[in-house]
Amino acid sequence: METADDPARQLTLRAILLSIVLTVVLAAANAYLGLFAGLTVATAIPAAVVSMGVLRLFGRVSVLENNIVATGASAGSSIAAGTIFTIPALVLLGQWQHFRYWWVLAIAGLGGLLGVLFSVPLRRTLIIDQQLKFPEGVATAEVLKISADPGSGVRSLGLAALVAAVFKVALSGLKLSPESFTASGYLGGRTIGFFGFSLSPALLAVGYIVGLNIGVLMLSGGALSWWVFIPLYNVFLHGHDPVLAAKLAGASAEDAAWLIWSSQIRYIGVGAMLVGGLWSLWTLRGSLLSGIQSGLGHHQGGAGDALPHTERDLPMGMILWGIVLFVLPLFALYYVVVGSLGVALAMAVIMVIAGFVFSSVSGYMAGLVGSSNNPVSGITISTILFASLVLLAMLGHGSTLGPVAAIMIGAVICSAASIAGDNLQDLKAGQLIGATPWRQQVMLAIGAVSSAAVMAPVLNLLLEAYGIGTPVREGVTPLAAPQATLMASVAKGIFIGGLPWAMIATGVVVGVIVILIDESLARRGSAWRAPILAVAVGIYLPLELSTPIFAGGLLAHFVERRFRAGGGSFDPDKAGQTGLLFSAGLIAGEAILGVLLAIPIVVSGNADVIAVRESLRPGQWAGVLALAFVAWWMYRTATAAARRRP
């Protein structure tokens, strides 16, 4: 039996090897999905499920050993996101004709390692002091607990995973229904009306885990973006951008809404994130400094061994030396790109400072809305924006090296921020099952380097097969790479012009207003709060992602009310674990099938490879009714204990 001082085996050779294999496979699958559809699939839960099955074949296995596999494999989606969101921009800018292996390995691998180191002092700050939700970390822990006690909750988790898997195949594979319900139209001339709701059980589950408060804030941000700013822009600022106006001519309301959001309104979210990121760092400064000082104190005073294994991080001295060691080769790469020691030094300094700042923001956002909904691309845009402004003063307007240098900084920070948010999800799962933090941090570092090692070959394969941005041959549909295209546009816009500064400034104003509202709520002791980053992510993300998260939070609220209505000594929080387990199953099922569906798509090169004929598709209302059934089942499962009460 394991104790606080005598933990079960964790960082074993078989766990490391299985984790590396899963990391490589899942990173490759996510690289394609990200370039193809602009999203990646969280891989910790699928890896945990695979580990529970595979390691059992080799003898006795502990929950903590399965957790190590999940921790390392989760780096696959993080490094894939950090790479595909930024590095293809170098091809789009014409700087590279193909992806250079050692450059990609250095940028993604060292960025990932820095993300691990940056996130170490954040563990105490965000997981222990702030006690953020970290929904996917909680879900992973629930999945892992099943391996320790298979008879407890297997039915709920297994059925939920099966339902979500079937749902994913039906919508993403067979195309029986669109993956989102949308309704749009012009209201009284040029006023755009739009509503979107992603038919995703996993997003519903994320909303259930994060709760109603965060769900309301995300929906509020989405409402500002889609129901206020987009209609106002189309009515009053329609002709200010001639290129956009030409695209809007004759466009449907839905197409017009997406065009305005992607080219203009989305940048309001970027401005709000800039303010929110700085404000969050300022408000967390005490906890962050305390975490760093605590780590230094344990290292210098030799107190690390006196701590229980569940509180032992990597030594702070090792972290500081590691940061120096990993920054030096990046400084050398920057010098090769710009040919100036001064500019390369400025790039390295920006990278370190912004890397820690935005790793903190990424970790905070992962704690609020989960890694899958963490706006890492928005964080990276903020980084490229800041870096470009500094480099503009050094390199001058019209510099061709400026956008390339900014992308190089952004690529490292994107990988660091992705890994930092992911690491904290893993550490939250570890906290819930009694894992050792430093062992998880080491495993994530191994996973980050393993993922980075396969990125260049995978990207070159996809570039040669499909093309990125433009087709490589006639009749081939290129991979859109939406985030990388946006990064290239932002970097280029700073040095050549064309960036919507008015929208970014509007976002700054919105951010300040939300911060003032949140501070007012805090002074009044309100149970409801308004963290700016939750609103900012709602502005930045498509409306269809915020609405199901809100619905899941509303569902959790109704479940809580059902339990509390009985009164007595009944513990509603403990009883709510059934709903949490069901939510974990929904996330696990959709995540696993999201990765598996990439296999036939990659092999065939056809996104509709298993889709049924259009005449056999019942349409979006079938998807809506199916998701409503999942929500009803989720409520019934979560409140089963309350119904059994006398």
Per-residue pLDDT of 369-385, as tens digits, reads: 666 656 677 777 778 88
Non-local CB neighbours of 526 within 8 Å, separated by 6+ positions = none
The answer to whether the Cα torsion of 134, 139, 144, 150 is positive or negative is: positive
Rounded Cα–Cα distance for residues 229 and 268 (Å): 9
- The one-letter code for the residue type at 498 is G
Report the interhelical angle of 501-523 vs 532-540 (nearest 10°). Answer: 150
Non-local CB neighbours of 208 within 8 Å, separated by 6+ positions = 552, 553, 555, 556, 579, 580, 583, 634
8 Å CB contact between 512 and 279: no
426-482 per-position pLDDT tens digit: 888 888 888 888 899 999 999 999 999 999 988 888 887 777 877 666 655 677 677
233 SS3 class = helix
Q: Burial code of 485-503, b = ≥16 C-beta within 10 A, e = fewer?
A: bbbbbbbbbbbeeebbeeb
123 SS3 class = helix
Rounded Cα–Cα distance for residues 99 and 82 (Å): 15
Please tell me the predicted confidence (pLDDT) of residue 228. 94
Please tell me the predicted confidence (pLDDT) of residue 3. 44
8 Å CB contact between 458 and 167: no
Closest Cα partner for 45 from 370, 365, 419, 454? 370
Q: Locate tokens 């079938």: which residue?
A: 622
- For the chain, give the longest Cα–Cα distance: 77
Residue 107, exposed/middle/buried by CB under 10 A (0-12, 13-18, 19+)?
Answer: buried
Question: What's the pTM?
Answer: 0.75
Q: Locate tokens 């006795």: which residue?
A: 60
8 Å CB contact between 208 and 549: no
Rounded Cα–Cα distance for residues 417 and 532 (Å): 18
8 Å CB contact between 113 and 418: no
CA distances from 270 to 81, 225, 243, 379 (A): 18, 12, 22, 8
Phi, psi of 181 (to 5 degrees): -90, 125
Mean pLDDT over all residues of the chain?
Answer: 82
Non-local CB neighbours of 520 within 8 Å, separated by 6+ positions = none
- The one-letter code for the residue type at 589 is G
498 SS3 class = coil
DSSP-derived letter for residue 41 is -
DSSP-derived letter for residue 479 is B
Helix and strand numbers, DSSP H then E, in the chain: 29, 2
8 Å CB contact between 29 and 332: no
Phi, psi of 360 (to 5 degrees): -65, -45
Alpha helical stretches, state H, 93-226: 101-122, 135-148, 154-168, 201-210, 212-223
Stretch (H or E) spanning 197: strand 191-198
Rounded Cα–Cα distance for residues 411 and 316 (Å): 25
Rounded Cα–Cα distance for residues 599 and 51 (Å): 20
Number of residues that make up the chain = 646
8 Å CB contact between 398 and 495: yes
495: left (phi over 0), alpha (psi -120 to 50) or beta: alpha
- Contacts of residues 321-329 at CB distance under 8 Å and 24 or more positions apart, as own/partner, are 322/113, 322/117, 323/114, 323/117, 323/118, 323/352, 326/110, 326/113, 326/114, 326/117, 327/114, 327/351, 327/352, 329/106, 329/110
- The one-letter code for the residue type at 292 is I
Please tell me the predicted confidence (pLDDT) of residue 574. 53
- Contacts of residues 287-294 at CB distance under 8 Å and 24 or more positions apart, as own/partner, are 287/124, 287/125, 287/126, 287/129, 287/130, 288/121, 288/122, 288/125, 288/360, 290/124, 290/125, 290/129, 291/121, 291/122, 291/123, 291/124, 291/125, 292/121, 292/316, 294/124
Pairing outcome for strands 191-198 and 180-187: antiparallel
Closest Cα partner for 468 from 107, 92, 97? 92
Q: Which value, to the nearest 10 degrees, does the dihedral of the CA atoms of residues 361, 487, 388, 80 take?
A: 50
State which residues of the chain have pLDDT below 50.
Answer: 1-6, 151-152, 299, 301-303, 569-570, 572-573
Rounded Cα–Cα distance for residues 530 and 213 (Å): 8
Please tell me the predicted confidence (pLDDT) of residue 514. 94
Rounded Cα–Cα distance for residues 506 and 225 (Å): 11
DSSP-derived letter for residue 264 is I
Alpha helical stretches, state H, 63-153: 63-73, 75-84, 88-92, 101-122, 135-148
The upper half-sphere exposure of residue 309, i.e. CA atoms within 13 Å in the direction of its Cβ, equals: 17
